[in-house]
Structure 1
Amino acid sequence: MNIKITDKAVFWFENEMALEPGDGVHFYGKVYGNTEVHDGFSVGMNAEKPEGNLLGKKEINGITYFTSKEDDWFFNRYDLVVDFDDKKEEPIYHFNSSE
């Protein structure tokens, strides 16, 4: 699984979450909401350092954006693209087939 994060999204995460090199952002599946490929589930995220078995990760400016093996049920068969929605002023998540 690959993770891609646009420059606008990186800027938002670094500023809104006050992230510094060595920090991490964990993306995971959560109950409620919808994505382009999930009904009843949406993307959640927490600021936390990566630990254990990772499913996918991307390091930018010393910050690790990642998913864990426990979230394979949610990200299975997809790559995650994190972008920024200018109108809502928040991250937006896209899923591309990895097959």
Structure 2
Amino acid sequence: MNIKITDKAVSWFENEMGLEPGDGVHFFGKVYGKTEIHEGFSVGMRIEKPDSNLLGKVKINGITYFASKEDDWFFSRYDLVVDYDDKKEEPIYHFNAKE
């Protein structure tokens, strides 16, 4: 699984969540909500340092954005793109089918 974080989203995470180099952001599937590909589930996130059980990760400005293998059920067959929604003033998640 590949993870891409747009520049606008990176700015939001760093400013709104007060992230610093060495921190991590864990993306995971959670009950309730909706995504482009899931009904009844949405993307959750929490500040957490990654372990060795990773499904995908990207490091930007010293911050590791990642998903764990236990969430393969949620991210299976997709790459995650995290962007920023200017109207809602929050991250927005897109799922791109793996080729």
TM-score, normalization: structure 2? 0.98
2:24 aligned with 1:43: no
The structure 1 segments of at least 4 consecutive aligned residues displaced by more than 2 Å after TM superposition are: none
TM-score, normalization: structure 1? 0.98
Displacement of 1:26 in angstroms is 0.2
1:3 match? 3
Q: Distance in 1 between matches of 2:38 and 2:57?
A: 21
| Stretches of structure 1 lacking an aligned partner (at least 5 in a row) | none
Letter in 2 for 1:7: D
Q: Which deviations, in whole Å up to 9, do the C-alpha atoms of 1:53-83 show, x marking residues without a partner?
A: 1000000000000000000000000000000
1:78 match? 78
Q: Which deviations, in whole Å up to 9, do the C-alpha atoms of 1:15-71 show, x marking residues without a partner?
A: 111000000000000000000000000000001100131000000000000000000
Q: Distance in 1 between matches of 2:56 and 2:90?
A: 22
Q: Distance in 1 between matches of 2:25 and 2:88?
A: 20
Q: Distance in 2 between matches of 1:40 and 1:88?
A: 20
Aligned length: 99
Q: Distance in 2 between matches of 1:81 and 1:41?
A: 17
% of aligned pairs identical?
83
